[in-house]
Amino acid sequence: MVQRKKKIIRKKVSKKKGSLWGNIVRLFALIFLLFILVFSVSTVGYVIFFRTVFAQEILPSIKNAIVFEEPDPPEPVEHVVEEKNIQEPDLPTVAITLPRVAIIIDDMGHHELLGEELLALPIELNYSFLPYAPYTRKLERLAHRAEKTVLLHLPLQPKGNKWDPGPGALTIVDLPEVQKNKLEKCLEEVPHAIGVNNHMGSLYTENQLAMTRLLWEIGDRALFFVDSYTSSKSVGLPIAQRLDVKSARRNVFLDNILDKKKICAQLDKLINIAERRGVGIGIAHPHRETVEALRSCGDDYRGRIQYVSIEDVVY
């Protein structure tokens, strides 16, 4: 009888141990299932967000207008300068042996392969990166490592709603704190930028108050400003000079017409400006025709001019 009672007690203990172990296993299984459920819901939410919000709002902004400048004014900017004799700022006399030419490649970050080819060209170029473009972070790191001059291509409000400057654009109705926050976020996207030039912005750069606030913020960060000069009424350069912000203004767009020979002709025009004035500033974009033109005729002017960093020609 005693032995039988001991066996019964042992069986009860075993059942309790087995029951306890089973409860632990079931608890872990339940936790695991909850984890899978939460992970699945999160994944579905993530996918839905990027297929709706991101795909419908952010990507179209990049695809629709982020690579292209606004259309030219009725008269090309260069003709306006020549015909109306708009006075360019006097540049300090600098003892150099050759005229200096600074070429900025705008809209960097949207085309990976073209961006890499432009970074590899043998002539000195400057690279202005769009915030939030898909390859900006990668390409601007490559540019920085190669000791190239990096700028922020800051989106500013154009004339008319037809032209979308893309994510992060500053508008003339932005409150000072909003403008400051947008600028900071854009600079975070291009962390190696030492200067800023405007993407679009024909409306914005004509506005005295907006440009004064923006250039104050740019100067406060010890950055320089290059006016892309998308409007002949831009007040960017005189305000920058008044605020003692190092600055300059674009002379020639090289590739408004995507034709290799015409791009080379525009480059020749820029070289002639540099030879007359000592300095010439051109802007180009990551197009296949631009890469081929710079590769073909960029070296033809060696001995007549020197290609330099835009930092060397801002005052």
Q: How many CA atoms lie within 13 A of 153 on its CB side?
A: 30
Residue range 237-243: mean pLDDT, rounded: 98
- Same domain? 167 vs 264: yes
- Same domain? 59 vs 82: no
Residue range 168-189: mean pLDDT, rounded: 98
Residue 250 is inside which H or E element, if any?
none
CB atoms inside a 10 Å sphere around CB 132: 21
Residue 156 is inside which H or E element, if any?
strand 149-156
171 three-class SS: coil
| Whole-number pLDDT of residue 60 | 40
Q: How many CA atoms lie within 13 A of 224 on its CB side?
A: 18
pLDDT bracket for residue 24 (50, 70, 90): confident
Q: Is residue 71, in this structure, part of any structural domain at all?
A: no
What b/e readout covers 73-103, taking b as 16+ CB neighbours within 10 angstroms?
A: eeeebbebbeeeeeeeeeeeeeeeebbbbbb
- Same domain? 52 vs 147: no
Residue range 4-8: mean pLDDT, rounded: 49
- Same domain? 253 vs 181: yes
Q: Is residue 72, in this structure, part of any structural domain at all?
A: no
Residue range 246-274: mean pLDDT, rounded: 98
- Same domain? 88 vs 159: yes
| Whole-number pLDDT of residue 160 | 85
Least confident span in 17-31, 147-161, 162-176, 235-249: 17-31
Residue range 2-26: mean pLDDT, rounded: 57
| Whole-number pLDDT of residue 64 | 41
| Whole-number pLDDT of residue 71 | 67
- Same domain? 41 vs 105: no
| Whole-number pLDDT of residue 215 | 98
- Percent of the chain whose pLDDT exceeds 70: 73
Q: Are strands 100-108 and 279-284 parallel, antiparallel or unpaired?
A: parallel
pLDDT tens, position by position, 62-108: 444 444 667 653 333 443 333 334 455 555 544 458 999 999 999 99
Q: Is residue 264, in this structure, part of any structural domain at all?
A: yes
| Cα-based angle 220, 224, 227 (whole degrees, multiple of 5) | 120
Helix boundaries (H) for 172-235: 176-189, 208-220
How high does pLDDT run on average in the chain? 83
Kindly tell me if the per-residue pLDDT of 269 is higher than 90.
yes
Residue range 244-266: mean pLDDT, rounded: 98
Between the alpha carbon of residue 89 and those of residues 151, 211, 242, 293, the distances in Å are: 22, 18, 12, 30
| Whole-number pLDDT of residue 115 | 98
- Same domain? 104 vs 51: no
| Whole-number pLDDT of residue 38 | 61
What CATH number is associated with residue 279? Answer: 3.20.20.370
- Determine contact, residues 171/178, Cβ cutoff 8 Å: no
Kindly tell me if the per-residue pLDDT of 20 is higher than 90.
no
- Of 269, 266, 280, 265, nearest in space to 310 by CA: 280
Greater pLDDT, 93 or 48: 93
Number of domains in the chain: 2
Greater pLDDT, 51 or 222: 222
pLDDT bracket for residue 198 (50, 70, 90): very high
| Whole-number pLDDT of residue 181 | 98
- Same domain? 55 vs 132: no
CA 227 to centroid of chain Cα atoms: 15
66 vs 68: CA distance, rounded Å: 6
Residue 230 is inside which H or E element, if any?
none
Kindly tell me if the per-residue pLDDT of 295 is higher than 90.
yes
CA 304 to centroid of chain Cα atoms: 32
- Percent of the chain whose pLDDT exceeds 90: 68
Kindly tell me if the per-residue pLDDT of 264 is higher than 90.
yes
